[in-house]
């Protein structure tokens, strides 16, 4: 064949990917022909040994053309394949570049979204940390109020116990379980119960402050991790292909077995925020409860203090009235004693005055008993003298009896006077204890604001 025409080349170019089967073997693969002497059968041909050497191992013309055609076809096919490969490589490089750029943009957008998520939880955690810190400080102030209120209850307790001890020094019959005594005992019991309540509130406040600090520490650790992560992701988001601080890290592509999932990551921060919010609300409720307790405690103590003071005032008025009445009766008794003493003196004088008439009457009777003989007569004078003596004796006996009664009455009045004076002394001592000791001591009772812990 002389060669491939344009139509054949066009057909060959239509299918550049399929290589035609060669029609002849390469020269290197052709078998070596034996040097044989060929007979010359053509016309006008010369025959001889010399011409036979030029024919040995040579190709035929059609083989030469076929070889050239094969080379042309291979060259064309190689060019076509190379051009197609270059087009594919260019397209692949363009596609790879676009894919890399798009993937990098998606990754950068994902990092940006991740930064927004981290910033959101970081802001929430920071808000909870600040709220817990503020709430802990407010609770610490309430705890300080509780401590001050507990210290302030020591003064009322000391006053009440001192009042009870002072009133034990009252003398009978004023040593009675009166209303003041009962109210003082109520006050002591009230103060003890209030102190126990305040101690429990102090324990609750200290425990809540510990929980607040623990959850604040958990939130701070989470917040610190998110700050560090935000810095890392922010730095990662700023990396560009032209950055000078980028390099290969083949081992970083592997997945971390301990890595968390986005759901677990969000739930972890959500749980921390939720627990912190719960503790903050519990702290707010505890502060409100403490404030209510302190207000009720101070009001109860001041109300009981008023009741005790009122009972003291009432008791002091009763003691003053009793002392006034005793002093009034003592004055009457003293006057009566004076009158009785005068009466006794008058009775004694009256008895002494009867001694003369009695002596006269008895002397007359004695002397008349010496009348002689018949002159010893029971005459009218004798009867009158006997009657006079009897009347005088009876009168003296009556006076002596009255004197004994008056002296007994005087002794009774003296006993009454002594009892009145003793009772007045007892009342004076009771008034001194209740008014000068107890009520004066109760003026040191703390005011409401101090009992409320301010």
Phi, psi of 246 (to 5 degrees): -110, 150
Beta strands, E only, 341-416: none
3-state helix, strand, coil in the chain (%, to 5): 80, 0, 20
DSSP string covering 6-51? HHHHHHHHH-TTSPPPPSS--GGGSPPPP-------STT---SHHH
Q: Are the beta carbons of 276 and 215 closer than 8 angstroms?
A: yes
Average pLDDT over residues 21-47: 45
pLDDT band at 379 (very low <50, low <70, confident <90, very high): confident
Average pLDDT over residues 421-438: 93
The number of beta carbons lying within 10 Å of the beta carbon of residue 220 is 17
Q: Are the beta carbons of 109 and 45 closer than 8 angstroms?
A: no
The number of beta carbons lying within 10 Å of the beta carbon of residue 215 is 22
pLDDT tens digits, 339-352: 999 999 999 999 99
Least confident interval from 11-25, 64-78, 93-107, 279-293? 11-25
pLDDT of amino acid 50? 52
Residue that the structure tokens 């200290």 belong to = 206
Average pLDDT over residues 105-133: 93
pLDDT of amino acid 37? 44
DSSP state, residue 57:
T
Average pLDDT over residues 238-242: 87
Which residue, 294, 302, 297, is CA-closest to 159?
Answer: 302
pLDDT tens digits, 180-195: 999 999 999 999 999 9
The per-residue pLDDT of the chain, averaged, comes to: 86
pLDDT of amino acid 8? 38
pLDDT of amino acid 2? 37
Cβ contacts of 137 within 8 Å, gap of 6 or more: none
pLDDT of amino acid 10? 36
């Amino acid at each position: 064949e002389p060669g491939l025409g344009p139509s054949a080349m066009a057909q060959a170019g239509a299918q550049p990917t399929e290589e035609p089967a060669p029609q002849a073997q390469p020269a290197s693969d052709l078998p070596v022909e034996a040097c044989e002497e060929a007979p010359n059968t053509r016309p006008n041909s010369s025959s001889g040994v010399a011409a036979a050497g030029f024919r040995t191992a040579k190709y035929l013309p059609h083989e030469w053309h076929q070889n050239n055609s094969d080379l042309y076809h291979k060259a064309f096919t190689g060019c076509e394949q190379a051009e197609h490969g270059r087009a594919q490589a260019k397209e692949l490089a363009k596609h790879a570049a676009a894919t890399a750029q798009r993937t990098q943009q998606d990754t950068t957008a994902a990092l940006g979204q991740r930064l927004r998520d981290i910033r959101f939880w970081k802001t929430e955690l920071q808000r909870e940390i600040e709220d817990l810190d503020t709430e802990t400080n407010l609770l610490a102030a309430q705890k300080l109020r509780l401590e001050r209120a507990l210290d302030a209850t020591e003064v009322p307790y000391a006053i009440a116990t001192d009042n009870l001890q002072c009133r034990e020094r009252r003398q009978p019959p004023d040593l009675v379980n009166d209303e003041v005594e009962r109210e003082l005992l109520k006050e002591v019991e009230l103060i003890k119960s209030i102190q126990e309540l305040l101690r429990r509130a102090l324990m609750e406040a200290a425990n809540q402050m510990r929980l607040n600090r623990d959850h604040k520490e958990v939130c701070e650790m989470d917040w610190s991790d998110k700050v560090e992560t935000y810095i890392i992701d922010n730095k990662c988001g700023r990396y560009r292909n032209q950055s000078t601080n980028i390099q290969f890290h083949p081992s970083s592509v592997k997945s971390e077995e301990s890595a968390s999932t986005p759901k677990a990551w969000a739930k972890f921060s959500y749980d921390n925020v939720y627990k912190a919010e719960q503790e903050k609300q519990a702290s707010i409720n505890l502060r409100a409860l403490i404030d209510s307790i302190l207000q009720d405690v101070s009001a109860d103590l001041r109300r009981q203090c008023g009741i005790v003071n009122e009972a003291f005032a009432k008791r002091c008025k009763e003691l003053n009235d009793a002392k006034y009445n005793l002093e009034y009766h003592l004055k009457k008794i003293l006057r009566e004693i004076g009158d009785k003493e005068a009466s006794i003196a008058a009775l004694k004088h009256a008895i002494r005055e009867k001694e003369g008439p009695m002596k006269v009457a008895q002397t007359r009777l004695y002397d008349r008993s010496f009348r002689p003989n018949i002159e010893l007569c029971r005459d009218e004078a004798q009867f009158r003298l006997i009657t006079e003596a009897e009347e005088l004796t009876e009168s003296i006996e009556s006076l002596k009896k009255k004197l004994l009664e008056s002296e007994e009455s005087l002794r009774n009045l003296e006993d009454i006077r002594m009892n009145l004076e003793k009772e007045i002394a007892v009342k004076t001592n009771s008034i001194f204890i209740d008014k000068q000791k107890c009520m004066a001591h109760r003026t040191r009772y703390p005011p409401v604001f101090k009992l409320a812990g301010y």
